[in-house]
Amino acid sequence: MCGIVGYLGKRNAKEVLFEGLRRLEYRGYDSAGLCVVSPSGELSVVRVVGNLDAMEKTLESFDTHGTVGIGHTRWATHGAPSKENAHPHTDCKGEIAIVHNGIIENFVQLKAELEERGHVFSSETDTEVLAHLIEENYSEDLGEALRKSLERVEGSFAVATVHKDSPGTIAAARRDSPLVLGFGDGEWFLASSVPAFLPSTRKVVFLEHNDVVVIDSTGCSITDLDGAEVRREVVEVDWSLDSAEKGGYKDFMLKEIYEQPQAVAETLRDKFDNKKEVIVEDLRMTREEALELRRIVVVACGTSYHAGLLGKYLFERWAALPVEVEIASEFRYRNLVVTSDDLVVAISQSGETADTLAGIREARRLGACVVAVVNVVGSQMTRESDGIIYTHAGPEIGVAATKTFTTQIVCMILLSLYLGRLRGTVTDAEYHAIVDELEVIPKKMEKVLGSSGEVSKCAEKYYKCDDFLFLGRGVGYPIAMEGALKLKEISYIHAEGYPAGEMKHGPIALLDADVPVVAIATMDSVYDKMINNIEEVKARGAPVLAIASEGDGEIVKICNDVLWVPETNEMLYPLLTVIHLQQLAYQVAKKRGCNVDQPRNLAKTVTVE
């Protein structure tokens, strides 16, 4: 939800900032801007409506050579996407520029106070109040002015600011919204996430809540909001540069779909000891503690929620525990009955999603142990949870979650097996069958990826349809939900994911020859039931595209199209079937001319409620 960057060094700031913004564009792309500070203190600000392609054109005639600056790519919250509302924002005198990710919740009150004192506002944003507060608080020390201004602010922020009278300084701070500091050779970077400056450095500090950092040519200092110095560990991130670039693919989404076998293998790496016993290091739960658990509560949003829905089937089957799966935005505003006997599993690619984070805080307040399943190293959820399981998918830039979904599924599998072993609720035979199958699953995923030509033919056949229905049962049901979400978010086609058995209680009324039904019908314990549901669909004249197990001679007879997956264990089919649905959504969206990496109205990370 908005990306911010900052640079102070020896290079042309305009170029470094723009490159950084390109890598953060997934966070928002309705407008963008940057400010470069000349050595004499002149602030050159450029703001454009639209994505960074629009900005690139404008920058051709933006003639600055300053080596200090800040930049922003926006996902609008307060004020429509317009040039006036694009960041950086400035004060009345144009002496300050500021970029912000987050929401200043008391901005209405602050704005009224500032206007009473004579400040004139030029945007509808919440951010602009900070520029005016800094204007009032500035007297030679930019860091101090920022600290004083933030004392008045309620809400979330990652901000970076420059002032014409401190031309060689950037002051920045964070609360809730992420901010990372990067250390190069005689140069410093600020960004909402590491990929922004990955070509220049891997040495980073993940700034903490209420940290204020001041950077100048002598280095950087970090303090709390009272000005007391704080020490933060410099860590070396191991993300490769390739992982944050398209590497020959047309889109990040496509690249990330193809990265899944490797991402899954990476998530599985070192998760079994030499006796093939599953290890979930950060959980450190004893057998007694595992036996005392009364329930698992999964909290997540969007695709991560679908991974949680799947987790329910796995936890129930192997760990024999009751499971509730909660949409985080619903979880947080209820009279929650969560206790210390519950294990709360929070799932999030970004580790920043506001509703999931709020759910974590509430669950911990009520005494539950929280384990976060997260992709972004050092993200807020990793700091606020009792345990962490990383998905190791590498940076995911496409707004549509793909490789992080399959790696989240792997984490659900690992955690449920781990609890099942501790609790003695998974049989040896089933446990070893799953562990053996996990070894070969990346190869099977590769095989599924090899049939993109078949998916393309199906996309060609159906891409003009206005509605789709996705059906599944058992572990196929969360995959149907995920398939529908993928299609709607990147192709803007109306799609619904439904438990197949529930179709006859309503959605069947939607069916006719123009509504394709995508049916997850692999060879599993609910296969026969699925076939019955497919027959019901056929009887209403709707075309059926089935995702089925290789060797199923029956399904070709009743379905219009079939996409095959290799046979696997019933509980592992989702790792294969979802790939076809991701590819289908991708191919349909491309045929409809949609921007798959930057779908309209969306942002990769939702740091507002």
Decide if 604 is catalytic: yes
CB of 497 to ligand M6R, least distance (A): 13
Parallel, antiparallel or unpaired: strands 68-74 and 544-549: unpaired
Strands in 224-318 per DSSP E: 235-236, 295-300
Q: Is 100 helix (H, G, I), strand (E, B) or coil?
A: strand
Binding piece for ligand M6R, criterion CB under 6 A, among 1-9, 244-252, 301-309, 546-554: 301-309
The residue to which tokens 């209403």 are assigned: 540
- Residue choice 192, 243, 329, 349 for contact with ligand M6R (CB under 6 A): 349
Site for ligand M6R in 242-261 (CB under 6 A): none
Binding piece for ligand M6R, criterion CB under 6 A, among 167-175, 256-264, 342-350, 465-473: 342-350
CB of 397 to ligand M6R, least distance (A): 12
CB of 53 to ligand M6R, least distance (A): 22
The residue to which tokens 């031309």 are assigned: 167
Cβ(326)–Cβ(346) under 8 Å? no
Please enumerate in sequence order all residues whose Cβ is within 8 A of that of 605, keeping only pairs 6 or more positions apart, or say none. 1, 27, 350, 352, 353
Q: Which of 142, 138, 130 has the alpha carbon at shortest distance from 37?
A: 142
The residue sitting closest to ligand M6R, measured at its beta carbon, is: 302
Binding mask 393-422 for ligand M6R (x = CB under 6 A): ------xxx---------------------
Cβ(364)–Cβ(370) under 8 Å? yes
Give the interface size with ligand M6R as a residue count (CB under 6 A): 16
Q: At what angle do helices 403-423 and 302-314 cross, to 10 degrees?
A: 30
The burial of 136, by beta-carbon neighbours within 10 Å (0-12 exposed, 13-18 middle, 19 or more buried), is given as middle
Judged by phi (left if over 0) then psi (alpha if -120 to 50, else beta), residue 601 lies in left
Q: Kindly name the residue from 2, 301, 411, 594 that is annotated as catalytic.
A: 2
Site for ligand M6R in 302-321 (CB under 6 A): 302-304
Cβ(347)–Cβ(308) under 8 Å? yes
**Binding to ligand M6R by residue 606, rule CB under 6 A?**
yes
**Binding to ligand M6R by residue 192, rule CB under 6 A?**
no
- Residue choice 356, 391, 407, 598 for contact with ligand M6R (CB under 6 A): 356
**Binding to ligand M6R by residue 489, rule CB under 6 A?**
yes
Decide if 529 is catalytic: no
Point out which residues pair with 99 in neighbouring strands: 160
Structure tokens at 296: 């698992």
Structure tokens at 142: 């930019």
CB of 350 to ligand M6R, least distance (A): 3
Residue whose CB is less far from ligand M6R, 169 or 350:
350
Q: Kindly name the residue from 271, 403, 486, 604 that is annotated as catalytic.
A: 604
**Binding to ligand M6R by residue 583, rule CB under 6 A?**
no
Residues that bind ligand M6R (CB under 6 A): 301-304, 348-350, 353, 356, 399-401, 485, 489, 605-606
- Could you give the residue numbers annotated as active site? 2, 604
